[in-house]
Amino acid sequence: MPDPCTEMNLIQFGRTYLLSALDRCTPEALDFRPPAVELPEDYSLFSIREHFLHIADIGEMFIHEAVLDEHKPRGSWRVIYEDAGSFRLGGSFPDAASIRAELERCWDFQDRHLLSRPQKALGDAIGHRGRSLAEELGWLVFHESQHRGQILTLMRMAGLEPPRW
């Protein structure tokens, strides 16, 4: 079983690092997306902006499902999925400050409903998939780190230098 203390350290590192990366993004870079090589014409890949907003969406969805045992409310999604490979933004997030606000809102939600619990409670409580909340938290760390890596790759492709580890 994952160690909640280690997971908490990884979460704090990830949050700090994501904000450092966001601070380095120019307005033009936020909309950078790789070309969809060998994909259908109507298929699109996430831009840097969409990756950041997706992290916020999934962070909230995780709490709704794993902790509150409910679905994330309709209308609260920042990246709205339509058909396979098709999505749109569910609001206006014109700059790094608006994206930062969405990330911080998500993290506050996570802190209030999960991360403020005593560490032993995370190992004892069972989430919606029949795993402990500590195990579920490991999934959240994995998911966010995957998208963090994608953001760093896109930053490099867009000509930006990501923050140092």
pLDDT in tens, 85-118: 678 999 999 999 999 999 999 999 999 988 777 7
64-88 residues labelled b (16+ CB within 10 A) or e (exposed): bbbbeeeebeeeebbbeeeeeeebe
pLDDT in tens, 41-72: 666 789 999 999 999 999 999 889 888 888 99
- Regarding pTM above 0.85, the answer is yes
Is 48 within 8 Å of 151 (Cβ atoms)? yes
Ordered domains of the chain (ranges, CATH):
4-157 (1.20.120.450)
